[in-house]
Amino acid sequence: MKHFPILLIFAYFAACTAPTRNELPSLPVGGIAAFYDTSLKPFYHGVASGDPLHDAVIIWTRVTPEDSLDAIPVGWEISTTADFQTVSQSGSFETTPGRDYTVKVDVQGLEPDTYYYYRFKALQAVSATGRTRTAPLGEVEKMKFAVASCSNYEAGYFNAYGRIAKRQDLNAVLHLGDYIYEYEPGKYGDTTINRTHYPAREIVTLADYRLRYSQYRLDKDLAAAHAQHPFITTWDDHEIANNSYAEGAQNHQPSEGDYMTRKEVARKAYYEWLPVRGSAGQDLYRHFSFGDLADLVMLDERLAGRTAQADSLSDPSLQDSTRTMLGKPQLEWLEGQLSNSKATWKIIGNQVIYSYLNWGTPTFNINLDSWDGYPIEQRRIARFIQNNNIENVVFVTGDTHSSWAFEVSVDPFNDYDPASGEGAFAVEFGTTSINSSNSNERFPTDSVKAHEEKIVNSEINPHLKYANLRDHGYLVITLAPGSAQADWYYVDTLKEPSTNESLGKSVSVRSGEVRLNL
């Protein structure tokens, strides 16, 4: 661990403020600049951290120059104290237009389970200070994750991110995808609140995706959550296009160019703008260890190996063994992670619902974009967990804009006893959306409540123990050696900024069991 006198640090930072210029055109002052808070110049997008290990963490920022520059040297420092009186490490990073002026540093040699503070300097300015936390090592008594998904700028205010930012008890935030939405203004959202997507078109090109991330990252609530906690993220479909898979997407049309090109530029922008370890050429699925208490595997259920969705339940390809959600390399990697884990809890960061689910509506029952549309691979994972007696598997899931609690069974009618829970082999907790629309944006709340009662603990879903299709917010998972608990927190409105939230439901499971305690 390195320590530097304060005067030397100031001198070092001063050396990191002289950018290299050339005759590139000036950056626009309109457009995305309309969202800038000038008091943050040139660090308008704040700071962020992510992918914490016991001895390392990613720190992130973005420098926005007034004129286009070939390169900008950026100083950084990290400390165990918010006043930076003692600096643990410092360094320099050169950012360029080729990475959209983003800065991502993998800081190594840190202490486990330690809060760190970090900041950047460039263009004669100092960024806001961020707080992060490394993963624990060895014996761990308690951990907490916030779980988030589905944040659509046009759907309302990001009040749930603001509530996450205020929490002081989290080890990390797990974001399970749909961090941005690709749609043009007015396509999918609330047109009454003046939160309009930028740029004013469906995003297709690298420049488009970069601008959309820029807009989202300028949101004050999202920026505050990133500044307060390390994020562990994965993408779902809207980071590329709706219902995306490895070779195509429902929301990609021939007039929008080559899908593979679109996918690759979307990946590049994601790795630039999110504090995730690695680069666009690497796989996103990865593993995190939190001492002896938990192992976390974050899956990629879109781009690594997913084949096209089936057209219907009668599609003969539905039961084809070549239909995959993960693809062979990722599936074998997942099995290895589960079988080799010595931790009490095995957490699977999962974009779409793994459990069998009948939505119970006249026009929509089985979602073929979820694991139910990939039954061969779904059953293989179930058999692997059961045959290897792997205990304490917890799926955490996003995507549906609804809250769920399952005693997991892929065949709840033949392999599961609802009275005892026998036959279930894991539990699954689904988080609602930060703000993306759910059922009571389309139907009366009383009708939605009645539908929840219809599908929970019912003949069509005997293993489904809790559902909320109405409220927006986030999930908190609390892990201890003897239990895991899911707490759903809901915000009171999306229509205006608000600091109000309420605890909507708590569900727990004891170690070694799959029976949910409601």
pLDDT digits (tens, 9 = 90+) for 418-448: 999 999 999 999 999 999 999 988 899 999 9
Please measure the distance between the N-terminal and C-terminal CA atoms of the chain and give it in whole angstroms.
47
The alpha carbon dihedral of 510, 348, 379, 457 has a sign of: positive
pTM: 0.94
pLDDT surpasses 60 at 385? yes
440: helix, strand or coil = helix
CA Rg value for the chain: 23
pLDDT digits (tens, 9 = 90+) for 19-32: 554 444 455 567 89
Q: Which of 67, 117, 122, 113 is CA-nearest to residue 93?
A: 122
CA 407/CA 480 separation, integer angstroms: 19
pLDDT surpasses 60 at 462? yes
Domains of the chain: 6-133 (2.60.40.380), 143-510 (3.60.21.70)
> Tokens at residue 172, please?
């990390």
pLDDT surpasses 50 at 7? no
Q: CA–CA distance from 186 to each of 154, 189, 346, 441, 472 (Å)?
A: 8, 6, 40, 15, 20
pLDDT digits (tens, 9 = 90+) for 175-234: 999 999 999 999 999 999 999 999 999 999 999 999 999 999 999 999 999 999 999 999
**pLDDT attached to residue 26:** 52
CA 233/CA 239 separation, integer angstroms: 12
